[in-house]
Amino acid sequence: MPRPSRTVRGFEPPDALSIAEDPKGYLEHLFCCFLQNLYRDAPEGYGLTWRPNEEETDLVITTEKPTGEQISAKPYICVVLGPYRFSGTGGIDLLQSQNMATGERKHTDLMPGTVSYHCTASSGAHAGRMAGDAARRTVQLKRLLTRIGGLFKIGLPQITGETEPGYLTGPLASDEVVAVVATIPIFWQEQWLISRNGLSVLQRIATTMGLYEAHAKVSAGRVARVRAPSIRGRVVQTAPLGTPLDPPGVAYQQVVISGESRTEDE
């Protein structure tokens, strides 16, 4: 897998990453490669031309947290995935379909999140230009990003004013470094399949949790005594219930004596 600071021409999503297994790595790599390819073809003198060689580039585009000395030397765009969550729009139990014959279930949900372009430069005008241009290009080419990245939707960005660079600078940052952040809302669909193998795994987990549950920490309460069956206060003895696999039990017959009923062994 190429490093985030390098670019493979053609702008393809990384094969070694999966949005389901590693949303942070996949999405940061996706938007970082998008910006690198976008500004690599910028004309000379544009001021936002990207080159793989840091000595020749006008700005550095990366997913790695730069040091304060690096930010002071070159303008930086650091791509960072913000918070994301399950939205619960998949319905009851997030169930999409179920095969009644095999018991397999397919679940799905829509995942909303954000991707931020942390743009830092020695002047607020330069940082603001980088953030505004990157956000505008993302909106203009969002259909390309949605199709290649497998996303559901890319929303409209929000751009902050000039602030201190914050946690991206480190203790060695210059006081003259200014940051402007462009935040882009994104949505992608999460899907997972519970198959026979998955059901067996769930059964093993449930069995294991049942065997090793914390019995000492759970109180069962008082056990209620079961009363014997009776008629008008007199206990009635009943025959034991049996199954075809049980050994033959003792046979009982009912004997009526002076209006009273009792059971005797044969």
pLDDT values of the chain reduced to their tens digit, one per residue, 266 residues: 334 444 333 444 555 567 778 888 889 999 999 999 989 888 777 788 888 887 888 888 988 877 666 777 788 899 999 999 988 887 788 887 888 887 788 888 889 999 999 998 888 888 999 999 999 999 999 999 999 888 999 999 999 988 876 666 555 445 678 889 999 999 998 888 877 665 666 666 666 666 555 444 444 455 556 566 777 777 766 655 444 444 444 444 444 444 454 544 44
Q: Which residue matches tokens 């200014």? A: 178
The model's pTM: 0.66
Structural contact between residues 112 and 84, judged by C-beta atoms closer than 8 angstroms: yes
- How many other CB atoms are found less than 10 A from the CB of residue 54? 13
Whether 210 is covered by a domain: the verdict is: no
Distance CA 8, CA 6 (A): 7
Q: By C-alpha distance, which of 34, 36, 2 is closest to 17?
A: 2
Whether 155 is covered by a domain: the verdict is: yes
Whether 80 is covered by a domain: the verdict is: yes
Amino acid at 68: G
Residue 34 burial class via C-beta count within 10 angstroms: exposed 0-12, middle 13-18, buried 19 and up: buried
Dihedral over alpha carbons 104, 110, 113, 115 (to 10 degrees): 90
Enter the tokens of residue 5: 């600071």
Maximum distance among all Cα pairs of the chain, rounded to whole angstroms: 119
Whether 164 is covered by a domain: the verdict is: yes
The pLDDT of residue 218 is 42
Number of domains in the chain: 1
Residue ranges of alpha helices (H) inside 150-258 are 196-211
Whether 49 is covered by a domain: the verdict is: yes
Whether 117 is covered by a domain: the verdict is: yes
Distance CA 14, CA 36 (A): 14
β-strand pairing of 95-98 with 60-62: unpaired
Q: What is the extent of the structural domain holding 182?
A: 23-86+111-189
Task: Identify the three-state secondary structure at position 210.
Answer: helix
Whether 34 is covered by a domain: the verdict is: yes
Whether 102 is covered by a domain: the verdict is: no
Residue 133 burial class via C-beta count within 10 angstroms: exposed 0-12, middle 13-18, buried 19 and up: buried
- CATH number of the CATH domain containing 122: 3.30.70
- How many other CB atoms are found less than 10 A from the CB of residue 84? 18
Distance CA 115, CA 162 (A): 18
Distance CA 145, CA 11 (A): 10
Amino acid at 172: L
Read off φ and ψ for residue 69, nearest 5 degrees.
Answer: -65, -40
Q: By C-alpha distance, which of 75, 48, 55, 47 is closest to 174?
A: 75
Structural contact between residues 41 and 200, judged by C-beta atoms closer than 8 angstroms: no
Read off φ and ψ for residue 80, nearest 5 degrees.
Answer: -135, 130
